[in-house]
Amino acid sequence: MYIIQNSRQSAIQVGLLLPLLWTVSGCNLFPPSSAQPSLGQRGRPEQADGPVAVKTAKAETGSIAGLLTYTGTTRPDQQVMLRSQVSGEVTDLTVDVGDAIARDDLLAQLDGNLQTTSLNQAQAELSARRAETAQAQISISDAQSALVQAEATFDQAQVDASRLRRLADQGGISQQEAEAAELAVTNAQQAVRSAQAQIAAQRQAVAAAADRTDAQQAVLAQTQRQLSYAGLRSPLTGFVLSRQVDVGDFVDSGATLLELGDLSSLKVNVEVSELDIGRLSVGQSAQVTFDAFPDEGVTAGRIEQIAPVADATSRLVPVQVSIPNPNGRVGSGLLARVQFSPEQAARVVVPESALALGEEGSTVFVIEGEGEQAKAVARPVRTGTSGQDRVEILSGLSAGEAFVVQSDRPLTSGQAIRLSILSE
């Protein structure tokens, strides 16, 4: 009785297992490398030359190059250090850190008493130089008058000497009187030459005085400019980034008072690996995100500058990206994550499993015909870059053509095929 009951339980278990085994043995499993030829209706294997089950796809264009992601730091598009050009005490500061400023706004004021004193001295010296020039010009007028008088005396002396020489020759007067008249001509001529030399000297004096006046005029202009430096004005429109002094501090010429920045646009400096720099170019687009503003989304930027020299130790190349910042919300010194999409021409990309290696190189099986007339034809292709289980096809396959991705057994060119349900 016990043996009969166990036999019935074994029969029931075998009966339950048979349908499950039948179901498994009737499935066509992928990948084809593990698939076995299925049994026909009479339990015989299918013929080896029958249609091969294949999975197909249509060739599409794309790129296997992934995004390049780097981190950098923001800085203003324009950043200046406002420095004092004169020494003095800070008497007023009209702005503080974070304040918005406009071009030519008065930001700080220094004590200008020293410059004012220098200005007064320069003005007094200029007045003296101008008086000197005027006096030299008057001397020229006096010398010109003396020359006119000397020339008149000379002319008269010549007339008198000529007349007296005729009288002496006629015996009307003595020779001594004629000779005295001729000597007077010589003296008058010498007086004319002296007056001419005096005029030339006075003209040189006037020119020298004019040069000294011009030089003093330049000194006065410089002193006035230095006095204007006591008021420090903004050279740009933007924001105050930092402040280094307080009211009452004494600063020397060249000392920094304020740091200013134009935040209407920002620059992000990133260090790019030498292995990736060949995939970037000036003007290329970039996407920038900020950890400080996760809700802001992606900001579109562009590569503005690629340094021609890499760091000798790290082999990293500085790349500068420019991004808009119209509201000025993103400040300087923030962490920025920059993604570059490498510029690359669209090419046909296929899975690596679609390639077969032949005597002439890589081959792709292309589908020709439809329905029962469909067949796989081997076509040589030239491959390019590979990655992420995909490979570029440079020639031999066009976008839109159907090709074999997988098959349940090795293919030969021209072999009949049947499409799996996963085929495109």
Q: Are residues 358 and 332 in the same domain?
A: no
Cα-based distances in Å from 248 to 109, 153, 156, 187, 243: 11, 75, 80, 76, 14
- DSSP classification of residue 34: G
CA distance 283 to 294: 26
Q: Are strands 415-419 and 52-58 parallel, antiparallel or unpaired?
A: parallel
Q: Are residues 209 and 303 in the same domain?
A: no
Report residue 1's pLDDT band, with 50, 70 and 90 as the boundaries: very low
Q: Are residues 210 and 120 in the same domain?
A: yes
Residue with tokens 């990206």: 321
Residue 242 in any domain: the answer is no
Q: Are residues 413 and 354 in the same domain?
A: yes
Residue with tokens 């002319």: 155
Domain of 363, CATH number, reads 2.40.420.20
Q: Are residues 297 and 197 in the same domain?
A: no
Task: Answer with the one of 295, 311, 340 that is the final residue of a domain.
Answer: 340
Residue 408 in any domain: the answer is yes
Domain of 336, CATH number, reads 2.40.30.170
Q: Is 284 helix (H, G, I), strand (E, B) or coil?
A: coil
Tokens standing for 39?
């049994």
Fill in the amino acid letter for 330. V
Q: How far apart are the first and last CA of the chain?
A: 61
Q: Are residues 273 and 313 in the same domain?
A: yes
* Cross-sheet strand order for the sheet of 347-351: 60-62, 347-351, 390-395, 382-387
Per mean pLDDT, which range of 45-49, 191-195, 279-283, 397-401 is the poorest? 45-49
Which pLDDT does position 114 carry in this prediction?
Answer: 67
409, 372 contact by CB (below 8 A): no
Distance of CA 38 to the CA centre of its chain: 67
* Predicted confidence (pLDDT) per residue in 302-338, tens digit: 999 999 999 999 999 999 999 998 877 888 889 999 9
Distance of CA 381 to the CA centre of its chain: 42
Whether the model pTM is above 0.75: no
Task: Answer with the one of 228, 255, 271 that is the final residue of a domain.
Answer: 228
Residue 11 in any domain: the answer is no
Q: Are residues 214 and 189 in the same domain?
A: yes
Q: Are residues 327 and 397 in the same domain?
A: no
Residue 244 in any domain: the answer is no
Sign of CA dihedral 198, 199, 202, 203: negative
**Number of structural domains found in the chain:** 3
323, 308 contact by CB (below 8 A): no
Percent of the chain residues topping a pLDDT of 70: 83
Residue 365 in any domain: the answer is yes
Task: Answer with the one of 340, 355, 381 that is the final residue of a domain.
Answer: 340
Residue 181 in any domain: the answer is yes
82-107 burial, b at 16+ Cβ within 10 Å, e below that, comes to bebebebebeebebeeeeebeeeeeb
Residue 127 in any domain: the answer is yes
Fill in the amino acid letter for 150. A
Instruction: Read off the pLDDT of each residue in 113-131 and give the average, rounded to a whole number.
Output: 77
Q: Are residues 290 and 328 in the same domain?
A: yes
Residue 55 has pLDDT above 80, yes or no: yes
* Predicted confidence (pLDDT) per residue in 181-216, tens digit: 888 888 888 888 888 888 888 888 888 888 888 888
Strands (E) across 225-315 are located at 231-233, 238-243, 250-251, 256-273, 285-290, 299-306
Residues with Cβ within 8 Å of residue 69, at least 6 apart in sequence: 337, 338, 339, 340
Residue 155 has pLDDT above 70, yes or no: yes
Q: Are residues 131 and 213 in the same domain?
A: yes
Nearest by Cα to 348 from 396, 389, 280: 396
Q: Are strands 361-368 and 335-340 parallel, antiparallel or unpaired?
A: unpaired
Q: Are strands 52-58 and 106-110 parallel, antiparallel or unpaired?
A: unpaired
Q: What is the largest CA-CA distance in the chain?
A: 202
CA distance 68 to 64: 12
Residues with Cβ within 8 Å of residue 152, at least 6 apart in sequence: none
CA distance 40 to 48: 13
Residue 82 in any domain: the answer is no
Considering 160-169, 346-355, 375-384, the range whose residues carry the highest mean pLDDT is 375-384
Residue 350 lies in domain: 53-64+346-419
Fill in the amino acid letter for 406. Q
Residue with tokens 């995909």: 390
CA distance 260 to 241: 5
Q: Are residues 381 and 303 in the same domain?
A: no
CA distance 97 to 243: 6
349, 393 contact by CB (below 8 A): yes
Fill in the amino acid letter for 297. G
Q: Are strands 361-368 and 355-358 parallel, antiparallel or unpaired?
A: antiparallel
* Predicted confidence (pLDDT) per residue in 17-44, tens digit: 333 333 333 333 334 433 333 323 333 3
More confident residue, 202 or 1: 202
Residue 385 has pLDDT above 80, yes or no: no
CA distance 334 to 267: 11
Q: Are residues 267 and 331 in the same domain?
A: yes
Tokens standing for 319?
């790349």
CA angle 358, 360, 361 (to 5 degrees): 65
